[in-house]
Amino acid sequence: MFGFGTGGVQHAENSSRQLKPMSGLGNKLTLKASYLCCQRTILRKLTLPRHKKRGYETLNFSLFAKYAVPHLRLAHGNIINIASTRALQSEAHTEAYSASKGGLVALTHALAVSLGPAIRVNCISPGWIEVGKWRKNKSRHPPALSAQDHQQHPAGRVGTPHDIAAMVAFLISGEAGFITGQNFVIDGGMTRKMIYAE
């Protein structure tokens, strides 16, 4: 049995409370922080209050980690951060989003050095992952993907949640016991593909 914790970090008391049900899971406790995101914001429209909100959403993962660390030390658990390939490449007007994901990748290796060897910390940066049919019933929709959507990926297809879950399962296993502080890009090869307009 594996215990996964996914939680938001808006309030310190929430971080502590969300972790309590997981405290008895023994050495299978793993923290997967996936709430670190900020919506696309055009730089010229980024106001100071919105900037503060974005920074709060991103950097307060360290607060969530603070409350998780005592449980994870006892369990020899793992922290798996979910970032994005936007930490490595960008589209126009994604400054806030790209910066937040780059910060999460950097935080991953910093935490790995600080928390090891009792706790391993790694990061996954997904590319295009189709999640339409995985949403809650109210917002679920069938994927509307074209042949070109798939073919542009060197792997020949768009990613699925299974692709990410498989990496998480590997990283928390004993097989990955010598891996920490790393960022794993799961994007079907897209960040390695040169794309120039013809």
| Cα torsion angle, 3, 177, 36, 107, sign | positive
CA angle 37, 162, 130 (to 5 degrees): 55
CA separation, residue 32 to residues 65, 109, 114 (Å): 10, 15, 18
**What backbone torsions phi and psi does residue 80 show, to the nearest 5 degrees?**
-115, 110
Report which DSSP code applies to 32: E
* Pairs from 56-59 (Cβ < 8 Å, separation ≥ 24): 56/10, 57/9, 57/10, 57/100, 58/99, 58/100, 58/103, 58/104, 59/103
Of 35, 56, 67, 97, the active-site residue reads: 97
Residue 67 annotated among the catalytic residues of the structure: no
Q: Are 104 and 32 in contact (CB under 8 A)?
A: no
Buried b (16+ CB within 10 A) or exposed e, 24-33: ebeeebbbbb
The catalytic site residues sit at: 97
